[in-house]
Amino acid sequence: MIRAYINLLFAAFMETYILMNHLLPRNVSYWISYLNRLSTNYLNHEMTFWNTILIACVLIASTFGTVVEQCPGGTPKIDPADVSLTKCNNPPCILKRRTTVGIELKLRPDKDIKHLTTSVQGIIADLPLPFIGVDGTSACDNVYSEDGSTKVGCPLKAGGTYLYKNSFPVLQIYPAVSLKVHWALQGPNQRDVICFEVPARIK
């Protein structure tokens, strides 16, 4: 009877020994490996997720153009999606001296327009200063078809959609200051057809 009891204890001991020395380490290794794979997959998915978010933000920013402000005085409302400034989605736009800044505007006139004039100023301390070489010039040479492939010029027909493309130099003589860029295209009697303002900084 005692011998049988001893044999039973020995068998139980051996079973426990085998479990502790073979099965458990093997399971620990398995779970460590599994967790490593899981964390790696999680990180990969996290990176993919955030990369997707980043790309989406870039696409959204590209789609909605430059964030601009309405011009004062009850001028025609501007849709930010219709305005695009080179390398500027969120103001203040950085205008580096000795560089050229490109601009694109969608135009949807509600009446026929025979001629357009460009009106561009930098507003510093409420004082409008004209951008040399752009302010007061004809805008007709910068009017294209909606897709930008063909220059159409003036006149513009009511109900049509046009793309205005232009650029302006940021001259070395300009001071390094913060300002507000006022950009308008004016029809007869200096009436704004489209107008926007955007905070900027010359560097």
106, with CB counted inside 10 A (0-12, 13-18, 19+), is: middle
Asked whether residue 156 falls in the same domain as residue 171, the answer is: yes
Asked whether residue 110 falls in the same domain as residue 147, the answer is: yes
What is residue 73's predicted lDDT score, i.e. its pLDDT? 78
The string of pLDDT tens digits covering residues 6-44 is 444 444 444 444 444 444 444 444 544 654 564 455 445
Mean pLDDT of the chain, nearest integer? 77
Q: How many domains does the chain have?
A: 2
Q: Which two tokens stand for residue 57?
A: 């933000």
Torsion-angle region of 111 (φ positive above 0: left; ψ -120 to 50: alpha; else: beta): beta
Please give the residue range of the domain that contains residue 35. 1-64
Asked whether residue 124 falls in the same domain as residue 32, the answer is: no
Whether the per-residue pLDDT at 83 is higher than 70: the answer is yes
Asked whether residue 107 falls in the same domain as residue 20, the answer is: no
**Greater pLDDT, 161 or 27:** 161
Among candidate residues 40, 64, 88, the one where a domain is terminated: 64
For residue 31, which amino acid is it?
W
State mean pLDDT over 188-200.
91
Residue of 116, 184, 106 lying closest to 154 (CA atoms): 116
Asked whether residue 88 falls in the same domain as residue 143, the answer is: yes
